[in-house]
């Protein structure tokens, strides 16, 4: 089991006029953290496409804001797998600053065929990769 952690810093481009992180930026940070979590396990999303003709797509994402992040803050995104099925997975990602929860995200990804967008099962090697991120 691996829980993936990655640190980021908030830059001016991430904030609104008051220096608080703009809500949509959390989705971008979550995407980067998921990409790096998969990469840390030895593969990339491009490998899924090139080797199998498959893609990850976000099926559903919810964010629960607890405490704002602000300009120049350094924070950690913790990514872990909650569950997986044949063609979907459920990840949770927490944004932490100084150990305190700022934002909790609940993300459901689907695996689809690039050629037609239809659902497809994760290949066994990808199921194993995702399982390594399980809580």
Burial of 60 per CB tally in 10 Å (0-12, 13-18, 19+): exposed
pLDDT tens sequence across 41-67: 999 989 999 999 999 999 999 999 999
- This model's pTM is above 0.85: yes
* pLDDT for residue 1 is more than 70: no
Is the CATH code 3.50.50.60 the one for domain 4-131? Answer: no
Q: Which of 7, 14, 16, 47 is catalytic?
A: 16
Handedness of CA 94, 97, 98, 104 (dihedral sign): negative
Residue ranges of domains in the chain: 4-131
pLDDT one-digit tens code per residue, 88-107? 999 999 999 999 999 999 99
Q: Known catalytic residue: 106?
A: no
pLDDT in tens, 71-92: 999 999 999 999 999 999 999 9
């Amino acid at each position: 089991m691996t829980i993936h952690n990655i640190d980021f810093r908030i830059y001016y481009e991430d904030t609104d006029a008051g220096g608080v992180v703009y809500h949509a930026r959390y989705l971008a940070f979550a995407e980067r953290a998921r990409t790096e979590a998969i990469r840390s396990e030895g593969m990339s999303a491009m490998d899924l496409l090139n080797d199998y003709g498959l893609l990850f797509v976000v099926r559903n994402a919810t964010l629960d804001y607890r405490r704002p992040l602000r300009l120049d803050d350094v924070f950690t995104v913790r990514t872990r797998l909650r569950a997986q099925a044949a063609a979907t997975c459920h990840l949770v990602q927490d944004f932490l600053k100084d150990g305190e929860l700022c934002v909790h995200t609940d993300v459901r990804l689907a695996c689809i065929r690039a050629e037609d967008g239809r659902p497809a099962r994760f290949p066994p090697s990808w199921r194993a990769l995702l399982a390594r991120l399980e809580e």
